[in-house]
């Protein structure tokens, strides 16, 4: 399986420019690539409370339709982040688009400081079947919570896609976390980060350093700090080898609670139940 990491800059607040960048990256993909992965909220950049309404897109809107057209033209699947508008609320969302349509949409569950007051949190962790694999997505800050990836493992996820928007000085945090999440859940993990300076005046620097990790926790490929569109080949037999001697999913004794749900299309999800009660002394 071949995956392309679209570690590219985007312009905060410039939907049209970012859409153009994404379509150009899709057009550059190799003919034998299966999937291209972009960073968090790549289409919109990071919105503010003042401009999120003008940047957020419905999932059946023009921007997603153009990307679906590109997926069909290039016989390629696309994972990309955007600000989603739905029923008067806004979500930090990643979609998985295939030539057949919208395979999955995931709304970020864990809100970073700059998400608060802009986005509503998502309410479930989910995955779907794609090319014979169970594929799930998480977004940026989600990866710092082990329960997020463990919920994906409970769903059966074998390939975890993380759309990232992690800035300095926190860049190393996600590089460490993604290795742990892949190893402790015996899954492939693909993390794609931004590589630019925030254009909204905050001066934040996004360090890139996208990475692919195998189910043993070994780094398969990694990017540097600058723009890069890197092709990575995954040896899917590693999944079987990683789980041959022991399988954490089957041998764990501490559960997360909640139930796994599945619809008629094979999409699975795990409802989020926040723990609001502090533990007793």
Active-site residue, 40 included: yes
Which one is catalytic: 40, 84, 158, 209?
40
Answer whether 178's CB lies under 8 Å from 218's CB.
no
Active-site residue, 75 included: no
Which one is catalytic: 4, 108, 126, 128?
108
Active-site residue, 140 included: yes
CA-CA distance, 17 to 82, in Å (whole number)? 13
Which one is catalytic: 10, 127, 128, 140?
140
CA-CA distance, 261 to 240, in Å (whole number)? 25
Nearest to 228 by CA among 4, 8, 2: 8
- Residues identified as active-site: 40, 108, 140
């Amino acid at each position: 399986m071949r995956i392309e990491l679209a570690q590219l800059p985007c312009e905060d607040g410039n939907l049209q420019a970012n859409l153009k960048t994404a379509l150009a990256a899709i057009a550059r993909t190799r003919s034998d690539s299966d999937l291209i992965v972009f960073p968090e909220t790549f289409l919109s950049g990071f919105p503010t409370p003042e401009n999120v309404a003008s940047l957020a897109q419905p999932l059946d809107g023009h921007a997603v339709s153009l990307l679906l057209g590109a997926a069909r033209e290039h016989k390629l699947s696309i994972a990309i982040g955007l600000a989603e508008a739905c029923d008067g609320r806004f979500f930090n969302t990643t979609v998985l688009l295939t030539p057949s349509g919208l395979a999955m949409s995931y709304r970020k569950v864990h809100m970073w400081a700059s998400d608060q007051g802009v986005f509503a949190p998502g309410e479930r962790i989910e995955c779907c079947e794609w090319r014979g694999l169970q594929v799930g997505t998480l977004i940026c800050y989600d990866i710092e919570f082990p329960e997020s990836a463990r919920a994906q493992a409970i769903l059966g996820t074998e390939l975890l896609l993380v759309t990232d928007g992690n800035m300095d000085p926190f860049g190393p945090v996600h590089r460490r976390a993604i290795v742990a999440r892949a190893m402790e859940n015996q899954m492939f993990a693909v993390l794609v980060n931004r590589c630019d300076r925030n254009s909204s005046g905050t001066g934040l620097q996004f360090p890139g350093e996208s990475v692919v990790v195998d189910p043993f926790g070994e780094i398969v490929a990694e990017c540097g700090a600058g723009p890069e569109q890197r092709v990575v080949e995954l040896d899917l037999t590693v999944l079987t080898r990683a789980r041959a001697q022991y399988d954490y999913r089957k041998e764990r004794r501490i559960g997360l609670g909640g139930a796994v749900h599945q619809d008629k299309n094979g999409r699975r999800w795990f409802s989020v139940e926040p723990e609001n009660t502090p533990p007793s002394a």
